[in-house]
Structure 1
């Protein structure tokens, strides 16, 4: 993701009822590693590998001119006809932890807290005038399910950038208001779950280093903004 500030406690309080906790680690694939991954020919091989298909993705990202959402660790996007808000809860550009919100009403409430007067309509998009389109990405995605647990994706954008991700997801209850009963304990449990999931991904990638070569992976949005800056 591009230009984000690290997650801080000042990020928006979450009032939604449920969300997806997504832990991901990016990697920089090569032609050789992608071929090995697709055919499971490395040593040691994966226990199981299922190619779940190739998808054409069109992602439109939104923010204010002064990047209020990005600064709060929030990325708002429309993928096809579906809206998603990804809220950073830990990690950095390469190893990230997000809560993913897909309920339009929940996203709209969060927008209103971050950008006074803003709201989200499922058909018309952001309302209130300040939240606007900042990027449009088109990419081809190959998705694999590995060892019946890990989702591995290989993305190639229409401007030639390639990046991979290893992901784990869990459905979680809302974090709730900061002063809610039990919020501190819930926060500790969430932090432990995040750390455990990240460790699972790290161990998996180390065990199959042939599929995940070392490098400095750059996310699609970061690559997009870097390209626009050079133009």
Structure 2
């Protein structure tokens, strides 16, 4: 289990060259496909809890030190759960206080209703593709987003705890990320300082909050879901 401290930024054609001038090393490029899941009434994401499957790996991101994103924050802090039993236990804690029980909910019909409600632009087959476990239907979880990303990753030899990711999403969205992984909440202030210092060297604004891939995807393909998250102050314009 780790804590992810991250700042998103807008990058351009000069960013990679600027990174190399700062001594950054290119770690490689990867292509991955992300599938995101929630209940029909968005019980997870309205609490800023994000369930994702990337390849064969599951990940749950939960907010750290606050219930929802602060509009003035330019960095995000999430706890990452990557072991499936822990993920399932946390989802149960989030859902069952709302009266949602771990019982079968008619997964196929749930997919149909969610697609109709969200206008997400996914076909039923795409939504069901590779969901990877009956436990999803037990919690009433259905896929609400899927997209692929080409990621180019850099790090600096003297600050190898900071990774710089340049993401190219398949729906035409580009975003950079400065990321530090820490083990305890006490290490978050130091991580924020490292990110701020590197952002300044790259000429990245420390006062501007940049939307991530999910913000952009929901705004474009799932406007109803996006508006619900804005109203709940989970996402911000």
TM-score using structure 1 length: 0.72
- Equivalent residue, structure 2, for 1:127: 137
Of residues 4, 11, 23 in structure 1, which corresponds to 2:5?
A: 23
Deviations 1:6-36 (A, max 9, x none): xxxxxxxxxxxxx101111111101122343
Please, what is the CA RMSD of the aligned residues? Answer: 2.3
Structure 1 or 2: larger helix share? 2
Partner secondary structure for residue 205 of structure 1: helix
Counterpart of 1:218 (choices 204, 211, 230) is 211
Q: Which residue of 2 aligns with 1:149?
A: 161
Give the drift of 1:122: 6.2
Aligned counterpart, 2:192: 198
Answer yes or no: is the 8 Å Cα contact 1:141–1:153 preserved in 2: yes
Matching of residue 159 in structure 1 with residue 139 in structure 2: no
The number of equivalent residue pairs is 184
Matched, 1:113 2:97: no
Displaced runs of 4 or more, over 4 A: 90-93, 213-216
Partner residue in 2 for 1:181: none
SS of residue in 2 equivalent to 1:31: coil
SS in 2 for 1:61: strand
Which residue of the partner structure matches residue 220 of structure 2?
A: 227
**Shift of residue 229 of structure 1?**
4.8
| Closer, same or farther: CA 156–118 of 1 in aligned 2, 3 Å | farther
- Per-residue deviation at 1:213? 6.0
Q: Which 5+ residue runs of structure 1 have no aligned equivalent?
A: 1-18, 173-189
Distance 1:223 1:67 in 2: 17
Task: Tell me what 1:100 maps to.
Answer: 80
- SS of 1:224's equivalent in the other structure is helix
